[in-house]
């Protein structure tokens, strides 16, 4: 199968950053399965994002952050629509 249309770089970047909605992510993921060109671009974007995160100085958590996260683990999930 030859693909003639590709997602824009901004859409691929949003996918790599994990900020796309479920529907758009599904469409991009399906495209990446068939398109090594875009898959390579997303791989580079993810590597760049990872490198940037590794170079960031760590920040201290807010007081009580761990307790707040642990308390959320015991909260039942919202009901499915």
The binding site for Zn ion (CB under 5 A) comprises: 6, 35, 38
CB of 5 to Zn ion, least distance (A): 8
Q: Which is nearer to Zn ion, 6 or 68 (CB)?
A: 6
Q: Which is nearer to Zn ion, 40 or 50 (CB)?
A: 40
Q: Which is nearer to Zn ion, 9 or 61 (CB)?
A: 9
Q: What are φ and ψ of residue 8, in 5° steps?
A: -65, 160
| Cα angle for residues 19, 22, 28 (degrees, 5° grid) | 80
Tokens read off for 4: 């003639």
CB of 22 to Zn ion, least distance (A): 20
CB of 27 to Zn ion, least distance (A): 12
CA-CA distance, 34 to 55, in Å (whole number)?
A: 33
């Amino acid at each position: 199968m030859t693909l003639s249309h590709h997602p824009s770089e901004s859409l691929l970047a949003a996918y790599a950053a994990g900020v796309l909605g479920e529907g758009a992510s599904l469409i991009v993921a399906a495209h990446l399965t068939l398109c090594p060109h875009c898959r390579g671009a997303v791989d580079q974007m993810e590597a760049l994002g990872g490198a940037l995160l590794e170079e960031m100085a760590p920040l201290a958590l807010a007081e009580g952050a761990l307790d707040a996260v642990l308390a959320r683990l015991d909260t039942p999930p919202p009901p499915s629509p």
